[in-house]
Chain A
Amino acid sequence: MRIIIPIKQVPETSNVKMDPETGTMVREGVESIINPLDLYSIELGIRLKEQYGGEIIVVSMGPPKAQEALREAIAMGCDDAVLLTDRFFAGADTFATSYTLTKAMEKLKPFDLIICGERATDGDTAQVGPGLAALLGLPLSTFTSRIELEDGCIKATRLIEGGYEVLSLPTPALVTVVKEISDPRLPTLRGKQKAKKLEIKKWTAQDMEADTAKTGLKGSPTRVVKTFNPKVAREGKLIEVKDEKTLAQAVDEIISLLKEKAAI
């Protein structure tokens, strides 16, 4: 199987501190990491390769620094990497990203499967995977929690509201995956050595014959016009349970709040 995995480099936000005065995120010293939800797609790819053979190519659109993410994917067990980097790609929204990645996928044809993460933790849109499938005309399964190969088809189980549904997709296809699909492995020593040595291909708009009117900020139909801090209009009432009396009081408060919110 030839598998393509688009991955994104994002700011590491798990140790993010909030500035208590302004309520904004303290960005200084924030590291860049592979989008944590892309680790599940990488792991799925590696398992499929272990089972069926083949190769995995990771692709990322981003600044030159994003090659760190690609190297990490190689260290986990992917085979080859392509970095889409060009000043024309900067500031892309999900449309421009889907378009740019599509041009790369066309260059990487033929392939059997594209695996995307459910969403990237910075933008949080979950739009690039479906966008890519639409532009490439590939059968799509989103929120996929399990896949099996059967008679040249992909049997994909999707996690949806209320349960799971099972789809059958002809190949080549595109799936976006949720955390349940796999448990990501750590990079191996051999993988790390390979990652260090690997020459990462770098493609520009020109290399992919991409129309720069559709890439980057210029090609993005959406624009952020304002950002602000969310209002945290919480009452923030605290009750400490120390004895029977405060316990009863705490429970009373919960019940009266539930009643007020018409929950009971």
Chain B
Amino acid sequence: MKEIWIYAEVREDRVNEVAYELLTRALDLKGKLEDSIISAVLMGRNIPDADKQELIKRGADRVYYVDNPLLKDFVVEPYSKVLIELINRYKPEIIIAPATTQGRTLMPYTAVRLQTGLTADCTGLDIDEAGNLLQTRPAIGGNVMATIRTSTRPQMATVRPHSTRPAPIDESREGEVIEVDVSLTEEDAPVKKLEYLKDKTQVVTVQDADIVVSGGRGIGRADNFKIVYRLAELLGGAVGASRDVVDRGWITYPHQVGLSGKTVNPKVYIALGISGSIQHLAGMQTSETIIAINKDPDAQIFRVSDLGIVGDLHEVVPVLIERLEALKNEI
């Protein structure tokens, strides 16, 4: 029997939704890989049972759970030690983790210690005739797609968040929660987490949001960002930005989308006054739907847009906001 593992990321003591996206991937792979089961690996401290059950209802046949005070917050050294012990014990065929800051720290740290291959930030996963994992990812800023195969075991990959829907709950599903004991000492945790500072300018973070509304130089000045915020708020989305406006100090760096900022993959990306440089596109062109407003009909952003509005954003956005407000009041 072959095990397909997903790393169930925990944030603030709860399983993060991104784990359910991985279950969608794993369910697909399970259908293609003979004699396989799905196991979720979960570590932390006092994770609610309901979260473990939810992993099962959404597709996991097994949940390996490791509870330890040293796993209360994500710190790579003890997390990796536990993951390696689990891997050595249960010998999974495939391990996928989200390409979040956690996944992109834990997986490369773990893969080299196991002397196995790891593919970053995949947007497509498949199984070939021989039962190998085919890992497809954007490269060179999303201008080329590459399919990668791993000759060693386990085959490991991180998967771009939002590149698939979360697996739905099926109340009839059953599975097993296996508590695994892994001994950890203070020596396994040389790095200490001192504090967490929540970013108050981001109700939702760009990487986590289903909708991202981004502003570029066309916004005109820092103060005008309030229309970007208002639009994002009405849509329940996050505020993004081009590098140009970050460098001008109109908005802070965590909002920056692109090559030297964050990669986002929302359902809807709205670009306001952004020209669509290759570096900006690198961070958002895999978004499901792209809407752009730009007064230049030749702007590059229109080349990747589903809907492009050629016009002054200062005319269009206020009308759009008004309409959305009216819609809200109707409900």
Q: Does A25 contact B (CB under 8 A)?
A: yes
Q: Does A37 contact B (CB under 8 A)?
A: yes
Q: How far is the CA of A160 from the CA of B103 in the complex (A)?
A: 11
Task: From known contacts A126-B104, A131-B108, A254-B320, infer whether A263 and B268 are also in contact, taking CB-CB under 8 Å.
Answer: yes
Q: Does B244 contact A (CB under 8 A)?
A: no
Q: Does A188 contact B (CB under 8 A)?
A: no
| Stretch of B34-42, B86-94, B188-196, B217-225 lying at the A interface | B188-196
Q: Does A261 contact B (CB under 8 A)?
A: yes
Contact status A232-B108, CB under 8 Å: no
Contact status A165-B315, CB under 8 Å: no
CB distance from B265 to the nearest CB of A (A): 13
Which B residues lie within 8 Å of A232 (CB)?
Answer: 303-304
Q: Does B113 contact A (CB under 8 A)?
A: yes
User: How many A-B pairs fall under 8 Å by CB?
Assistant: 272
Contact status A14-B190, CB under 8 Å: no
Contact status B308-A236, CB under 8 Å: yes
Contact status A94-B108, CB under 8 Å: yes
Contact status A162-B316, CB under 8 Å: no
Which B residues lie within 8 Å of A127 (CB)?
Answer: 104, 107-108, 111, 118, 120
Q: How far is the CA of A132 from the CA of B315 in the complex (A)?
A: 51
Q: How far is the CA of A223 from the CA of B117 in the complex (A)?
A: 9
> Which single member of B76, B197, B291 contacts A254 (CB below 8 Å)?
B291
> Which single member of A133, A225, A236, A237 contacts B148 (CB below 8 Å)?
A225
Which A residues lie within 8 Å of B80 (CB)?
Answer: 134
Which B residues lie within 8 Å of A37 (CB)?
Answer: 260
> Which single member of A139, A248, A263 contacts B77 (CB below 8 Å)?
A139
CB distance from A165 to the nearest CB of B (A): 5
Task: From known contacts A142-B104, A225-B134, A263-B268, infer whether A257 and B11 are also in contact, taking CB-CB under 8 Å.
Answer: no
Contact status B142-A222, CB under 8 Å: no
Contact status B320-A251, CB under 8 Å: yes
Q: Does A50 contact B (CB under 8 A)?
A: no
CB distance from B263 to the nearest CB of A (A): 9
Of residues 42 to 98 in B, which have CB atoms within 8 Å of A's CB atoms?
73, 75-77, 80
- How many positions in chain A have a CB within 8 Å of any CB in the partner chain? 84
Task: From known contacts A140-B77, A166-B194, A261-B289, infer whether A228 and B145 are also in contact, taking CB-CB under 8 Å.
Answer: yes
Of residues 243 to 287 in B, which have CB atoms within 8 Å of A's CB atoms?
253-254, 256, 259-261, 267-268, 277-279, 285-286
Report B283-323 CB contacts with A as 1/0, cut-off 8 Å: 00110111100000100001111111111100110011001
CB distance from B49 to the nearest CB of A (A): 25
> Which single member of A133, A179, A224 contacts B256 (CB below 8 Å)?
A179
Q: Does A24 contact B (CB under 8 A)?
A: yes
Q: Does B175 contact A (CB under 8 A)?
A: no
Contact status B308-A237, CB under 8 Å: yes
Contact status B146-A224, CB under 8 Å: yes
Q: Does A186 contact B (CB under 8 A)?
A: no
Q: Does A16 contact B (CB under 8 A)?
A: yes
Q: Does A230 contact B (CB under 8 A)?
A: yes
Contact status A24-B144, CB under 8 Å: yes
Q: How far is the CA of A223 from the CA of B260 in the complex (A)?
A: 26
- Most A Cβ at <10 Å: residue of B75, B101, B285: B101
Task: From known contacts A95-B115, A226-B146, infer whether A179 and B261 are also in contact, taking CB-CB under 8 Å.
Answer: yes
Q: Across the two chains, which residue of chain A brings its CB closest to B286?
A: A230
Which A residues lie within 8 Å of B302 (CB)?
Answer: 236, 238
Report A167-183 CB contacts with B as 1/0, cut-off 8 Å: 11110000000111000
| Stretch of A65-73, A76-84, A105-113, A239-247 lying at the B interface | A239-247
Q: How far is the CA of A224 from the CA of B140 in the complex (A)?
A: 14
Q: Across the two chains, which residue of chain A brings its CB closest to B260?
A: A179
Q: How far is the CA of A127 from the CA of B107 in the complex (A)?
A: 8
- Which residues of B does A touch, CB under 8 Å? 11, 73, 75-77, 80, 100-102, 104-105, 107-113, 115-121, 134, 138-152, 190-199, 202, 205, 207-208, 210-211, 235, 237, 253-254, 256, 259-261, 267-268, 277-279, 285-286, 288-291, 297, 302-312, 315-316, 319-320, 323-324, 327
Question: What 8 A-B pairs are tightest by C-beta distance, nearest first?
Answer: A241-B311, A221-B117, A222-B117, A127-B108, A130-B108, A125-B120, A163-B199, A221-B152
